[in-house]
């Protein structure tokens, strides 16, 4: 399962969602600009970071990635994407 915390104006959030669609990976998206509960959840996961996207993967273990571009390789590894 993948969860993306994002905002509508974030181009990196769009890139992340496109990446998951290209690899046929389903994800849940939370717009933290409008949903204050999800914003609080994201802040708890990231120790207060407001940078988006925040991507959470849950396989054998939970991994939290802050940002997309610099974490693409780590996401591929966490999700077993070749």
Q: What is the pTM of this model?
A: 0.94
| Long-range Cβ pairs for the range 18-27 (8 Å, 24+) | 19/68, 19/72, 19/75, 23/79, 23/81, 25/79, 25/81, 26/1, 26/2, 27/1, 27/2, 27/3
Query: Any idea what DSSP says for residue 49?
Result: -
Which tokens belong to 45?
A: 């996961």
- CA–CA separation, 75 and 55 (whole Å): 9
pLDDT tens track, the chain, 82 positions: 899 999 999 999 999 999 999 999 999 999 999 999 999 999 999 999 999 999 999 977 899 999 999 999 999 999 999 8
Domains detected in the chain: 2-61 (3.40.30.10)
């Amino acid at each position: 399962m993948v969860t993306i915390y994002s905002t509508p104006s974030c181009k990196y959030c769009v890139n992340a969602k496109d990446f998951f669609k290209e690899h046929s990976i389903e994800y849940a998206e939370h717009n933290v600009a409008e949903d204050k509960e999800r914003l609080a959840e994201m802040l708890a996961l990231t120790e207060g970071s407001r940078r988006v996207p925040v991507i959470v993967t849950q396989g054998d273990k939970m991994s939290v990635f802050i940002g997309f571009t610099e974490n693409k390789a780590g996401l591929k590894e966490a999700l077993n994407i070749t």
